[in-house]
């Protein structure tokens, strides 16, 4: 568990959406940057392509990106995984063909004062489910799939697998209505005790901001594929 939980909690706030933060040309610039970046991971099992925003790419765009985010959340430091040479990464682009499952992006250093994360949609169709429930451990994929739980050998930056959320938030069954509407890619038994805080419907030009302690996942809504830019911050 994180060591600065009291300080982390003092910075927590409800998730929010900032509309019309980026114009059409700026969204196109992000997409052009995405095309230029080398692929970091192509996870064929999850059917997701991940690209790190490396410091030698899109420097002018990074200045704009940093200022827009800072205007919304105040001073911050990037907390994305570093490159093999130790350089910081501004964010992570993900091209997904399947919904991303229930997880937390708490980072990997329990000494850090983790803060907010942001999501900028670069394609118009998709949605993200933020839960009221919080977790103060490291980056984790939450699952009741025994095959996933048996995975112990993880590469650098991979989330651990855990079912520690089961029972942590009580035993109230998850809403069958919400499950059918938003999360039919998840086993409903994997959502016991969880309560939805916000469903963010993707909209070009907007940005979602939420705490890194919030459990979250993609909704089932997808149209072929979706591309988003996420960054993780700390104080």
**pLDDT tens per residue across all 235 residues of the chain:** 999 999 999 999 999 999 999 999 999 999 999 999 999 876 666 678 999 999 999 999 999 999 999 999 999 999 988 888 888 899 999 999 999 999 999 999 999 999 999 999 999 999 999 999 999 999 999 999 998 898 878 776 688 999 999 999 999 999 999 999 999 999 999 999 999 999 999 999 999 999 999 999 999 998 889 999 999 999 9
- Confidence at residue 46, expressed as pLDDT on a 0 to 100 scale: 65
Q: Could you list the residue range(s) of the whole structural domain that residue 80 is in?
A: 5-234
What pLDDT, on the 0 to 100 scale, is given for residue 48? Answer: 85
- Residues 234/108, Cβ–Cβ less than 8 Å: no
Give the pLDDT confidence score for residue 103 in this predicted structure: 96
CA–CA separation, 188 and 184 (whole Å): 8
Nearest by Cα to 121 from 202, 48, 198, 66: 202
Residue 83 maps to which CATH number? 2.60.120
Look at residue 81 in the predicted model and tell me its pLDDT: 83
H helices within the chain, ranges in order? 5-10, 24-36, 59-73, 146-149, 176-182
Q: Give the total number of structural domains in the chain.
A: 1
Q: Whose CA is closest to 31, among 56, 54, 58, 55?
A: 58
Specify the pTM.
Answer: 0.93
pLDDT for 45:
62
Torsion of CA 20, 29, 219, 178, to 10 degrees: 10
Burial class (CB in 10 A: 0-12, 13-18, 19+), 144: middle
pLDDT at 156: 65
């Amino acid at each position: 568990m994180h060591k600065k939980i009291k300080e982390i909690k003092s910075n927590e706030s409800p998730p929010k959406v900032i509309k019309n933060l980026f114009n059409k040309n700026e969204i196109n610039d992000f997409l052009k940057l995405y095309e230029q970046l080398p692929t970091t991971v192509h996870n064929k099992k999850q059917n997701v392509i991940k690209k790190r925003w490396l410091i030698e790419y899109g420097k002018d765009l990074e200045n704009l990106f940093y200022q827009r985010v800072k205007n919304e959340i105040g001073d911050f430091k990037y907390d994305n995984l570093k490159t093999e040479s130790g350089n910081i990464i501004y964010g992570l682009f993900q091209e997904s063909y399947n919904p991303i499952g229930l997880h937390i992006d708490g980072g990997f250093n329990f000494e850090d004062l983790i803060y907010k994360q942001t999501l900028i949609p670069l394609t118009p169709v998709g949605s993200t489910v933020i839960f009221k429930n919080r977790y103060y451990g490291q980056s984790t994929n939450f699952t009741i799939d025994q095959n996933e739980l048996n995975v112990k050998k993880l590469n650098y930056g991979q989330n651990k697998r855990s079912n520690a959320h089961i029972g942590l938030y009580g035993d109230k069954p998850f809403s069958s209505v919400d499950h059918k509407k938003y999360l039919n890619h998840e086993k409903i038994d994997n959502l016991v005790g969880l309560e939805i805080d916000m469903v963010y419907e993707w909209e070009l030009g907007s940005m979602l901001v939420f705490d890194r302690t919030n459990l979250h996942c993609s909704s089932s809504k997808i149209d072929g594929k979706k591309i988003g830019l996420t960054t993780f911050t700390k104080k």
